[in-house]
Structure 1
Amino acid sequence: MKTILVIDDDKELCELLVEFLQPEGFRVETVNEPHGGLRQALSGEYCLVVLDVMLPGMTGFELLRNLRISSQVPVLMLTARGEDIDRIIGLEMGADDYLPKPFNPRELVARIQAIWRRVQPEEKQQLENTSRIELDDIVLDFGSRSVKQNNNTIKVTAVEFSLLYELLRKAGQVLTREELTQRVLNRKLEIFDRSIDVHVSSLRKKLGHNIDNRERIKTIRSVGYLYTQAHQDL
């Protein structure tokens, strides 16, 4: 059974999440304090972590920073409604997605299901019929869910892996933010949603902004992004 770890000091909310997620086929374990939550998240026993930003003794950001040192387990962060900066910081630190509080539990289930579908390499391979992409100095391999640059392994989150895949397989073509949000995050683009932008920024930092004297991932203003190709007229 797919096991989710919920780290939140709101015990009533934790009970509610258990109630909604178990019928969807998830086993749910909850921790109400961050230090024990971090230890469990690092155990490798969970397919996803739901993490609240506001925790006593250690913020969700600090926990995520420590988690990302050695684990790429998908993380969905719960943020205060209206706190856009919290969402951006969480994404920049390696969160896969976020959901502002208060939220409809059914929306949380939908977000979790979307993340779960995204990290299934076998299912994705069958749909796309592409297991390996090599372009420029990058090799993306679906079988191992790995990204290598000049034979060096680049640590990427599940979202970054899916985003890079979409950009590489459509290299030279413009992908709209709406398309990327739907294909990478498995949801519709929301008003003022900067998730894809932050994930693109993270990829640029990890892979380098330029390749062979050209911009690697180019922003197409008010439209989206494209992974450029050599000799492409931009």
Structure 2
Amino acid sequence: MFKDGESRRAEVTALVVEDQETQPVRTWLAQTEGLELLRTRSFERARRLAGSVRQLDFMVVPSDDQTIGLIFFTKLRHPDCRVVVVDSMTDEESVVEALEAGADDVVRADVSRREFSARLRLPREGIDAAEAGTILARLQLTPIEYAIAARLMQTPGRVVTRDALSQVTDSTTWTYGDRKFDVHVAKIRRKLEQEFGDRYVIRTIRSIGYVLSDGPVQG
């Protein structure tokens, strides 16, 4: 186990703010090879750690009054850091608030190790501009499908909200209950599967948005 601030050479650096909600996740991460695990029970200490390390690949935090501020700070310091919020409630309002603050995902406190591993997808892979261009060219998409797919490929593995997609496609604000993307996303999924098999998968985050995973989810 690693204590606050303890370091060693590793391929990936993770920061966990510990409490009852994040304890199982911390245990799983401590068993991961090639990972430097920074742990603290203090949000203030977490902010100092995030500000002092040169590399932070992902952070796991519980849902708390101080969570949003820590997410903002961490994303400013480490824009590519993947932030996962563990929430015992995961009600829609708290999920949206965390995602809008910059969190990449919100999971239940009782999340299974299998689901968490699939969501985290460590190490994270990316889709560069050349690869995205090749994918889009091969799919023969309609203009609106192209706009949606291109936006998802900008941030693979991260949630793209329905509102963000609405701004891209028709410059309007998405309203709850509007299912205007469902048909288009379903068609993009079919075209991706026909052309690439399970290499690229679009997951739906209910009432929130979509995530493009650049690779099959492993159990």
Corresponding residue for 1:13? 24
Q: Kindly indicate whether residue 68 of structure 2 is the aligned counterpart of residue 61 of structure 1.
A: yes
Q: CA deviation at 1:91?
A: 0.5
Partner of 2:48: 39
Distance 1:77 1:172, change over 3 A: same
Task: Report the TM-score, using the length of structure 1 for normalisation.
Answer: 0.53
Deviation at 1:182, TM superposition (A): 9.6
Aligned-partner Cα distance in 1 for 2:41–2:72: 18
> Residue 14 of structure 2 is aligned with which of 4, 8, 13?
4
| More strand, by proportion | 1
One of 91, 96, 99 as aligned partner of 1:83: 91
Question: 1:53, 1:60 within 8 Å by CA — same for their partners in 2?
Answer: yes
**Structure 1 residues 224 and 87: CA distance shift in structure 2, 3 A:** farther
Aligned to 1:107, what secondary structure does the other structure show? helix
1:48 alignment partner, one of 53, 58, 63: 58
Match of 1:111 in 2: 119
> Is contact 2:16–2:26 with CA below 8 Å preserved after alignment?
no
> 1:175·1:224 contact (CA, 8 Å) conserved in 2?
no
> How far apart are 1:35 and its partner, in Å?
0.6
Structure 1: gaps spanning 5 or more residues: 119-123, 132-164, 188-194, 226-234
Does the CA contact (< 8 Å) of 1:114 and 1:185 recur in 2?
no
Residue 68 of structure 2 aligns to which amino acid in structure 1?
A: F
Over the matched positions of the two proteins, sequence identity in percent amounts to 15
Structure 2 vs 1, CA of residues 2 and 62 (structure 1 numbering), >3 Å: closer, same or farther?
Answer: same
* Alignment equivalent of 2:38, drawn from 29, 32, 36: 29
- The 8 Å contact of residues 52 and 60 in structure 1, kept in 2 or not, is answered as yes
Which amino acid counterpart does residue 174 of structure 1 have in structure 2? E
State the SS of the aligned residue for 1:81.
coil
- The CA RMSD measured in Å over matched residues stands at 4.3
Query: Structure 1 residues 2, 115: closer, same or farther in 2, change over 3 A?
Result: closer
Contact persistence 1:7–1:30 (CA under 8 A): yes
What's the CA shift for 1:19?
3.8
2:74 and 2:124 mapped to 1: Cα distance?
A: 19
After TM superposition, list the pairs within 5 Å mapping 1:187-202 onto structure 2.
195-198=159-162, 200=164
Partner AA of 2:28 in structure 1:
L
Q: Aligned pairs, how many?
A: 164
State the 1:92 CA deviation. Answer: 0.8
Summarize deviations over 1:107-158 as a string: whole Å, max 9, x none.
222222167123xxxxx33971759xxxxxxxxxxxxxxxxxxxxxxxxxxx
1:199 shift after superposition: 6.6
